[in-house]
Structure 1
Amino acid sequence: MPDLNLTLLTDLYQMTMMQGYKKANVKNKEVVFDLFYRKNPSDSGFAIAAGLEQAIDYIKNLSFSEEDLDYLKSLNIFDDDFIEDLKNFKFTGDIYAVPEGTVVFPKEPLIRVKAPIFEAQFIETALLNIINHQSLIATKAARVCWAAKGDSVLEFGLRRAQGPDAGIYGARAAVIGGCTGTSNVLAGKLFNIPVSGTHAHSWVMSFPDELTAFREYAKIFPDTCILLVDTYDTLKSGVPNAIKVFRELKEKNIKPKVMGIRLDSGDLAYFSKKARKMLDEAGFPEAIISASSDLDEYLIRDLKLQEAKINLWGVGTRLITSKDCPAFGGVYKLAAETDENGQLIPKIKLSENPDKVTNPGVKKIVRIYEKDTGKIKADIIALENEYFDENKPLKIFDPVNTWKQMNLKPGTFTIRELLVPVFIKGKCVYKSPSVMDIREYCQKELSTLWDECRRLINPHILPVDLSKNLYELKQKMINEIRGKNTIEE
């Protein structure tokens, strides 16, 4: 929750490693960690980075309270001098990150942390918790909103979210991903995002009849009169009674800003078409038809294909829980450390699973756009000190299938580096935009994707390549490490 001290929001082994670094006299050794993910959620062609503002708040407020220290002492696994160190703990390093709302791809460092290992190790778990969750929901929302083809999508999932935090920050992420508002009032207050809602079946059932319930609701909320029409019989009772109330408002010269019906069950395509015909024939072509009922991007896409007459979508459970893909899969890996001379040297993790072999060194993301269209051609993960010139030819290649290459002519592409400074020497140098501004930025980011990359099934996968220098460094380190650690049989 917003006022909760999150300092102890970590895995125990982070703290046991910290004590180990202290005992080994390496606690102040400077290191670089990358936070990245390996696979797009929901088999998507992209993801949306989100959660940076909460990550910043977490770093700013790191502080062990007396109660925290007493609890750690009670575990009987930490030395007194280690507990003493924690009393003045704060983050003193550098953090670079991709801005929230940015389109991102696997293996790219969404966050790069450079700090003493004592600090950099500790913040791993909380950063992953924050970034993983919000990036997951923002990505899901972007997919849902794409399926809606320009219609408004409202996030309605609070009651099905996995706890208050998931509901609050899930609503925030959903708006970043494209939703126009949320039913979550606390999220609306905290993040200044639009809130929206109608009424429940219980409202209708609590009155003597459906028509009375609709009249009372219209009397109290004449400006936003959306009536839930499926409590008893959608076409024989609900829609006709809604039309009666709309006529009564018209006779009183009351002109609602928003007027319409909501469908929450049954065959939404069939009912929406019938309801649209009834509303139009009654003289209310402006009345909207909204729908809820376990919607996701696939069902919305199919309803669109069936020409359902729905123009406002309330998406709940399957969005706020990302039902088909419940975890983002972000990881946090060591990429470099200082040697005895204080020089940063690259580090690499090998694995029998090729997908888990990390990219060594201090890195950045270079995005290549096609100049004529503004669409993304490819991303390059490069070493921090590398320079790319738009006025010179650029050759990039697949780091696995190296024969797959792209040769770009000068003047046909533009370049943008994605990582921006967030903390420098422990001081925050980044101001987070408002959620609605992040949403607008995200819409611009999504417009740089080719339509083929946004397909819900089997999307085109944009290249994420390594620079030549990084590729060669990686191969050299793999060969050296394999040579050193090979045991002759």
Structure 2
Amino acid sequence: MTGQMTVPGALTTDVYEVSMALAYLREGMTGEATFSLFVRKLPPRRGFLVAAGLESALAYLEGLRVGSAEAAAFAEALHRPVEDLEPLRGLEFTGEVRAVPEGRIVLAGEPLLEVTAPLPQAQLAETCLLNQLSHQTAVASKAARCVLAAAGRPVVDFSLRRTHGVEAGLRMARLGSLVGFAGTSNVAAATAYGMPAVGTMAHSFVEAHEDEEAAFRAFARAHPGPVTFLVDTYDTEAGVGTAARVLRDLGYGPGCAVRLDSGDLGALAVRARRILDGAGLPEVRIVASGGLDEHAVDRLVRSGAPIDVYAVGTRVGVSADAPYLDSAYKLVAYGGRPVMKLSAAKATAPGAKQVFRGPGAADVVGLRDEAPPPGTEPLLETVMTGGHRVAAPAPLAAARERFEADLARLPDEARRIDDPVPPEPAVSGALARLTEEVRDRIRARVLGGRVAGG
């Protein structure tokens, strides 16, 4: 396994995207369309989101092409002769993408990405773009909250064994690095992304030996550098005492650690620290793991537990409390005409947009071409033109810098782990006026026609 993630192809789509793209082509509806991808509302217990998934989304668009094999597969899916799918053959993405760079903090109702391309191309891309940005933004946002909760203590990724597939495990490690994780247990991810590989031992290693001391000494013989001993296989306090004796006997100290994986981690950490300090090993760290997420980490940090490193896994890797986002990819303009949806609770705003960020995430959602309000900066950048990226993929370090800068400027109430209050972006006057104009036009045409016909 190389650790490189596969790039989805044209078949990675829902069948109705194919049906619509084919109908557009048959009707000659190939004018320029703009679609906006955004999150309608934040999940409960979220004060912000971290934009993520853009790099894999752009890789998908660069490779999006319908060849003979794809046309044949579409024909089979639609139960149609392959000749019927001939209009789709040769379709590839030639459009423009404007997006919020990875690592930036975003809010509900703000476009993460806007695609402008011939209508069939932009339509066919919907499913995969939603998949890439929704999942990765959800996981990055959960991971970011763990970093916040740890209050400067290192957080590491132990999620691979329970993520929803190997690919999701790779993405989790990458996203953890993006928001400041100190390492990952995932060797493939560590290799692919230049992250420190971190880990300890399993309970099975201890159980395979006659006792804990034999296990710890065997592990230390195999690993002459700093070691971390798992101390809760039988009795945690006895395990810490044994670990301290072995470390002292072998002359190990700086860089070494004991790992607590079960029980009352706060109370056990206090007792473990006392044992280690009493053995003259104040430099030996305490690592905590076992079902942790930002809420558990926050409670431990606030309690003053002497834990040096937090290893998070399952609950973070699957974003357990918010495993999906209420995201949407909606047509906002076609053929130079702004369009919108009026459905109850799911109405959209028309026109290509921009997000203008002010101090403290005082954001304004406006039209793409309007002048920025004083003291604001635009968030969406042009990242693809003519179907190709405008620049090489940005390093993770750059995304991490963006995240850290945005997080530092976020209001305290949005950063809270419990009961956060997310900022609410304002709507520019120009966008509000356009929305009203388009709404009135639709009502006059559709509802007026219904009354006249009735």
Q: CA deviation at 1:42?
A: 4.0
1:136–1:328 Cα contact (<8 Å) kept: yes
Q: 2:344 aligns with which of 328, 352, 374?
A: 352
Q: CA deviation at 1:41?
A: 3.0
Equivalence for 1:25: 28
1:191–1:434 Cα contact (<8 Å) kept: no
Q: 1:471 aligns with which of 408, 424, 432?
A: 432
The alignment partner of 1:331 has SS state of: strand
- Aligned positions of 1:97-116 closer than 5 A: 97-116=99-118
1:227–1:242 Cα contact (<8 Å) kept: yes
Query: What code does the residue aligned with 1:313 have?
Result: Y
Equivalence for 1:482: 443
Q: CA deviation at 1:348?
A: 0.8
TM-score by length of 1: 0.87
User: Are 2:440 and 1:437 aligned?
Assistant: no
Equivalence for 2:354: 364
Unaligned regions of 5+ residues in structure 2, if any? none
- Aligned positions of 1:273-288 closer than 5 A: 273-288=270-285
Q: CA deviation at 1:309?
A: 1.1
Equivalence for 1:249: 250
* CA distance, structure 2, for counterparts of residue 382 and residue 78 of structure 1: 43
* CA distance, structure 1, for counterparts of residue 73 and residue 83 of structure 2: 15
Q: CA deviation at 1:71?
A: 2.4
1:225–1:260 Cα contact (<8 Å) kept: yes
The alignment partner of 1:166 has SS state of: helix
The alignment partner of 1:145 has SS state of: helix
TM-score by length of 2: 0.94
Equivalence for 2:160: 158
Once the two structures are overlaid, the 10-residue window that deviates more, 199-208 or 450-459, is 450-459
Equivalence for 1:393: none
The alignment partner of 2:376 has SS state of: strand
- Aligned positions of 1:87-102 closer than 5 A: 87-102=89-104
Aligned residues: 447
User: Are 2:263 and 1:271 aligned?
Assistant: no
Query: For each residue in 1:350-393, what CA deviation from the matched residue of structure 2 results, as whole angstroms up to 9, or x when unmatched?
Result: 1222xx11111111111112xxxxx33x1111111211353xxx
The alignment partner of 1:146 has SS state of: helix
Q: CA deviation at 1:5?
A: 4.7
Unaligned regions of 5+ residues in structure 1, if any? 339-343, 370-374, 391-413
* CA distance, structure 1, for counterparts of residue 285 and residue 444 of structure 2: 68
Q: CA deviation at 1:90?
A: 1.4
Q: 2:17 aligns with which of 14, 26, 35?
A: 14
* CA distance, structure 1, for counterparts of residue 337 and residue 77 of structure 2: 36
Once the two structures are overlaid, the 10-residue window that deviates more, 99-108 or 76-85, is 76-85
2:95–2:117 Cα contact (<8 Å) kept: yes
* CA distance, structure 1, for counterparts of residue 196 and residue 289 of structure 2: 18
User: Are 2:419 and 1:458 aligned?
Assistant: yes
User: 1 or 2, which has the higher helix percentage?
Assistant: 2
Equivalence for 1:205: 207
**Runs of 4+ displaced beyond 6 Å:** none
Once the two structures are overlaid, the 10-residue window that deviates more, 191-200 or 282-291, is 191-200
1:22–1:82 Cα contact (<8 Å) kept: no
Q: 2:177 aligns with which of 175, 178, 184?
A: 175
What percentage of residue pairs aligned between the two structures are identical?
38
Query: For each residue in 1:303-323, what CA deviation from the matched residue of structure 2 results, as whole angstroms up to 9, or x when unmatched?
Result: 122221111011111101111
Equivalence for 1:386: 370
Change (3 A) 1:139 1:192: same
Q: CA deviation at 1:248?
A: 1.6
CA RMSD of the aligned region, Å?
Answer: 1.8
Query: For each residue in 1:373-425, what CA deviation from the matched residue of structure 2 results, as whole angstroms up to 9, or x when unmatched?
Result: xx33x1111111211353xxxxxxxxxxxxxxxxxxxxxxx321111111112
2:34–2:332 Cα contact (<8 Å) kept: yes
* CA distance, structure 1, for counterparts of residue 70 and residue 196 of structure 2: 37
